[in-house]
Amino acid sequence: MTEQLKILIAIHGHEPEGWTDDVRVALTPSPDAVIRVLVVGEPAAAGFTSLLPVARRRYADALRLARALATDSRRRRLEALLAHLSAPPEVVHTACDTDEGRTIAGHAAAWPAHIVVVGRDARTPLPRWLVPAIHERVVRDAPCAVIVAAPLPRRSRRLGRGLDPVATALPR
C-alpha cells in the first residue's frame, strides 16, 4: 500500500496577486493528495522603549494597525486559495518565531510533507534586502520538494503569454 502524497501550501501574506492560479495548476496532477494549508503569522516586532508615554502609545497603535492589516491580508489570500481548491483542505494557523521561511520549512519537516507550495515573496527589494525572501528560505531549508508559485505580471497576462512555468527545487 502506498502512502498518500502530502502537499503543504504555505500562506505567508506577501504572495503576489494571481498566485492561486499557479497553485491550482501545480495541484492538478494530484487530485487525491492530502492537502494542508499553513497560514503563517508575522514574526513578533521588537519592543519599543521611550521615555514619553505618548510615543509608546503611538507605537503600540501603529503596531496594532499593521498586525490587523497583515491578518486581513492573510485571510483574503486564504479565502482566494480555498475558492480555487476542489476539496476543503485542513487549515493550520501558526505563529512565527524568527522568520516565515524557517517556520514553513520546520512545519514541512514536522508534518512531514512531500511537497511544499509557496508563493513568491512579492515585497519590494528593500524589505527583502533586510530580511531574505521567504520563498528562497523555504527552498533552502525545506526537507522536501518546493514549488514556488510565481505568476507573470498583469501586463504579460494581457498579452496572452499564460503562466510562468512553476519553479521546482528538488530536495537535497
**Structural contact between residues 77 and 17, judged by C-beta atoms closer than 8 angstroms:** no
In this prediction, residue 87 carries a pLDDT of 79
Set of cell numbers at residue 122: 512579492
Specify the CATH number of the domain 6-45+72-169.
3.40.50.620
| pLDDT for residue 133 | 85
Of 147, 96, 99, 145, which is closest to residue 120 (Cα–Cα)?
147
Query: What pTM was computed for the model?
Result: 0.79
3-state secondary structure of 86: coil
pLDDT tens digits for the chain (172 residues)?
567 889 999 999 888 888 888 888 777 767 678 899 999 987 777 777 777 889 888 888 988 898 898 899 899 999 988 988 877 889 999 988 778 899 999 999 999 999 999 998 887 777 666 777 888 999 999 999 999 988 766 554 444 444 444 444 444 4
- DSSP H helices in the chain: 19-27, 53-84, 100-110, 125-130, 134-141, 154-158
d(CA 154, CA 144): 31
User: What is the amino acid identity at position 55?
Assistant: A
State residue 110's pLDDT score. Answer: 95
pLDDT value at position 4?
Answer: 85
Q: Which amino acid is at 40?
A: V
Q: 73-86 b/e with 16+ CB inside 10 Å = b? A: bbeebbebbeeeee
pLDDT value of position 27: 78
